[in-house]
Amino acid sequence: MTVAFLFPGQGSQHEGMLHALPDHPAVGRTLAEVSDALGRNVKELDSKQALQSTTSVQLSIFAAGVAVARALRELGLQPKAVAGLSVGAYAAAVASGALSIADGVKLVKQRSELMEQMFKDGYGMSAIVGLSQYQVSEIVATICSDKLPVYVANINTAWQIVIAGSVAGMEGVLNVARARGARKAERLNVAVPSHCKLLEPVALALQSSLRGMTLQQSDAIYISNVTARPLRDADDIRTDLANNIANSVHWYQGNVLLKELGCALFLEMNPGRVLTDLATENVPDVRSVAIETSSLRYAVRLAQL
């Protein structure tokens, strides 16, 4: 069965997630590599207190995703394609062979630290369920201004849209969305307005860092966050990694593309099962499994069917 590896983004984290990873030698080696590149034990970052930090969250998610993907590869599972949501894109790039793990750690650390520095309070992200991308975009266009910045950030499914921006701007959009019949319109536990033009300074800094790094052509198809297109070229992946923070994530379209590429099994790397639930809605005829709620061996058996 043709397999795609999915790598979650911020919001999937939970206390103790690195300590709960599968017991496999590749997991231990990967966490050691991440720790060496970071200059501290990465397993210190998954405590309840540590996870109050965006940097701890993103580094933990990155480490978990890469570790599980490496374990699956050592068990003989070669993905045809990889896709990562937001910070998950860096784990996907490592798992595809395009980016080294050391450079991945550097980029995720830089990205998350800049995000924390830029936005201390008054900004964030919100989810709207039950309205289309067109409907949400129309509402956003009527609210967004220099004083009330708010933007469409993630198209997770055809009917689940995430917005980002100032709290006041988001509240304006959410109030209109509720009035127009949204089933859910609420703030997310995210303090930074990711995937919109407010993050352009972070994208520019990442572009500069990535220019000094050597990337390789991937050995698995890498699905772009920004365009939802299949990539293999090192420079194309470099561009996507730099720019995804300041652009909308087209996750729904990416899921559809994976199916069109022939992927019949989606395996979500740790932590969580957010992407598995999205895939079940986006492409219901594709089998989707979260490793955290199943096992490595079960995933390998499914892929062999």
Is the Cβ–Cβ distance between 20 and 64 less than 8 Å?
no
pLDDT tens readout for residues 186-202: 999 888 999 999 999 99
CA 55 to chain centre: 14
Q: What percentage of the chain carries pLDDT values higher than 90? A: 97
In this prediction, residue 297 carries a pLDDT of 95
When pLDDT is averaged across residues 92-97 and rounded to a whole number, the result is: 98
Q: Are 85 and 249 in contact (CB under 8 A)?
A: yes
Q: Average pLDDT of 43-57?
A: 96
Q: In this predicted model, what pLDDT tens digit does every residue of 8-49 receive, in sequence order?
A: 999 899 999 999 999 999 999 999 999 999 999 999 999 999
Contact 57, 109 (CB under 8 A): no
> What's the CA gap between 2 and 23, in Å, rounded?
25
Residues 82-91: tens digit of each pLDDT:
999 999 999 9
pLDDT band at 75 (very low <50, low <70, confident <90, very high): very high
The 10 Å CB-count burial string (b at 16+, else e) for 251-285 is: bbbbbbbbbeeebbbbbbbbbbbbbbbbbbebbee
First to last CA, the chain: 6
Domains with residue ranges and CATH for the chain: 3-118+197-303 (3.40.366.10), 123-187 (3.30.70.250)
The three-point CA angle 134-125-128 to 5° equals: 40
Residue 98 DSSP SS3? coil
Predicted confidence at residue 202, as pLDDT, reads 97
pLDDT digits (tens, 9 = 90+) for 221-240: 999 999 999 999 999 999 99
Give the H/E segment covering residue 129. Answer: strand 123-129
pLDDT of residue 210: 98
Q: Which of 198, 243, 197, 244 is nearest to 84 (CA)?
A: 244
Q: What is the dihedral of CA 91, 23, 79, 213, to 10 degrees?
A: 30
pLDDT on residue 59: 98
Q: How large is the average pLDDT for residues 277-294?
A: 97
Q: What is the residue-wise DSSP string for 247-301?
A: S-B-HHHHHHHHHHTT--EEEEPSS-SHHHHHHHHH-TTSEEEEGGGS-HHHHHH
Distances in Å between the alpha carbon of 144 and those of 139, 141, 172, 256? 9, 6, 9, 30
| pLDDT at residue 119, as a whole number | 86
- pLDDT recorded at residue 226: 96
Contacts of 110 (CB under 8 A, 6+ apart): 205, 206, 209
Six-digit token string for 266: 């989606």
Using one digit for the tens of pLDDT, what is the confidence trace for 114-173? 999 998 789 999 999 999 999 999 999 999 999 999 999 999 999 999 999 999 999 999
